[in-house]
Homo-oligomer: A and B are copies of this chain.
Amino acid sequence: MIQLRKLDSTAIDFQETLDALLAFEAETDFAIEKAVTDIIAQVRARGDEAVVEYTNKFDRIPNGGAADIHAFEIGQAELDAALASLPDAQRTALQTAAERIRVFHERQKQELQGFTYTEADGTVLGQRITPLDRVGIYVPGGKAAYPSSVLMNAVPAKVAGVGEIVMVVPTPDGVKNQMVLAAAAIAGVDRVIGIGGAQAVAALAYGTESIQPVDKIVGPGNAYVAAAKRRVFGAVGIDMIAGPSEILVICDGTTDPDWVAMDLFSQAEHDELAQAILLCPDAGYIAQVEASIQKLLPTMPRQDVIRTSLTDRGALIKVRSMEEACEIANGIAAEHLEISAENPRQWAEKIRHAGAMFLGRFSSESLGDYCCGPNHVLPTSRTARFSSPLGVYDFQKRSSVIEVSEAGAQTLGKVAAELAYGEGLQAHARSAELRLKT
């Protein structure tokens, strides 16, 4: 039996209890900060040599370690061989997922084309969209090596038109994950290097003899990788530092309770800090979901992780109405929001904040995690209030284009000079005034 947390939105202390449950602040570990600072400094000073030393040590590279950085290069032939080595069903599934992800992200690209307009006096104003030159994708090694993450990070970069995609993936004990390499082959990654940790992040950010510096680094990693990404931010762009993954299910009580229980499990199985919450106006239905949880949990291979996650951070919440469920969901701003209900769009219209919304009982989060097409890299820890899924736009940037006509300079120059003098910036004012006809 698992002891589940049950809350009721009519309780006086409900909001307080919910806030405490949602609260998650990553603690700063100064030992990690210090180690990462040293590693970055060493890689900046000694380049490939330092990368090789750290990799041999931290990844326990066998046979006394690699002699030089080239030993970590994973060439196109090896990627192709990994793809060929997969069972047919697995290879086809990866290819299908990649194609669907590509199609969705092409729509994102189509939406952002830039614009130009010409004013009556001939002045032209616009916004130009260009891809990044070079991007680094970090892929964790070992247990948490997910080929789906390779697709979700690399395909949008490819669609954006990034010039070169460099993937780093550690090979602990020298072991390579064939499914990860196959995903790199499918996604069209340009270069794969079998290195990881803060040393790989430093090499991508600042470059070494053998690695050209990139413009942005994306992808998940452990606490060292996260600390390194924070540290190099500014020299390069980074994606969000993700917190624990979350699912919020709003259910009107019309979905098979086993389905909802399994959807909660699919989030909880990620790790002990993951969060799975159900909002439902029907107490009887909540009891059915609880019974499903009790019944299904013992059948799950990852039941220990699920139990800890649900016990520590999960909740089944009885709400007054579906309307109230939507209000609460806006406060939670969940990474994944399932609206498992009849006519789900009426409720989706009330949602202002969510990383991804899954509408209707057939839209399980797991379908979106792998192959619907939208990205599975989503804002966690309530950051969906102000940030977006990873997308093509993360691999593009905008430049303003301003082409003022001689006539335009006459009217704009007077306005600019007036404001510049008001701010005490006389060179700004004079620069505008020099363009005025006397």
Contacts and interface: CB of A to CB of B under 8 A. Distances in A.
Interface of A: 26, 89-90, 93-94, 96-97, 104, 107-108, 110-115, 117, 123-125, 127-128, 130, 132-133, 143, 146-148, 179, 215-216, 234, 236-237, 241, 256, 258-259, 262-263, 265-266, 268-270, 300-302, 306, 344-345, 348, 351-375, 378-379, 381, 383-389, 391, 393, 397-406, 408-409, 412-416, 418-420, 422-432, 434-435
Contacts of A379: 397
A403 to B, nearest CB: 4
B426 A301 contact: yes
Nearest to A179: B422
A372 B404 contact: yes
B344 A403 contact: yes
Contacts of A374: 125, 127, 400-402
Contacts of A428: 266, 269, 366, 369-370
A348 B429 CA distance: 26
A362 to B, nearest CB: 4
A262 to B, nearest CB: 4
B125 A115 contact: no
State the copy count for this chain: 2
A124 B367 CA distance: 13
A257 B302 CA distance: 72
A224 B372 CA distance: 45
Contact of A372 (B359, B389, B412): B412
A415 B96 contact: yes
A359 B128 CA distance: 13
Contacts of A125: 104, 372-374
A32 to B, nearest CB: 17
Given A259-B434, A368-B400, 17 more contacts: A125-B373, A128-B357, A179-B423, A234-B241, A269-B426, A270-B425, A353-B397, A356-B399, A358-B402, A359-B402, A362-B408, A362-B435, A363-B404, A366-B432, A370-B416, A370-B432, A388-B398
Nearest to A408: B362
A256 B400 CA distance: 24
A362 B404 contact: yes
Nearest to A258: B434
Nearest to A401: B357
B389 A398 contact: yes
Contacts of A361: 435
Nearest to A395: B386
A421 to B, nearest CB: 9
Contact of A418 (B93, B128, B404): B93
A362 B407 CA distance: 9
A385 to B, nearest CB: 4
Contacts of A133: 352-353, 385
A402 B306 CA distance: 25
A112 B108 CA distance: 10
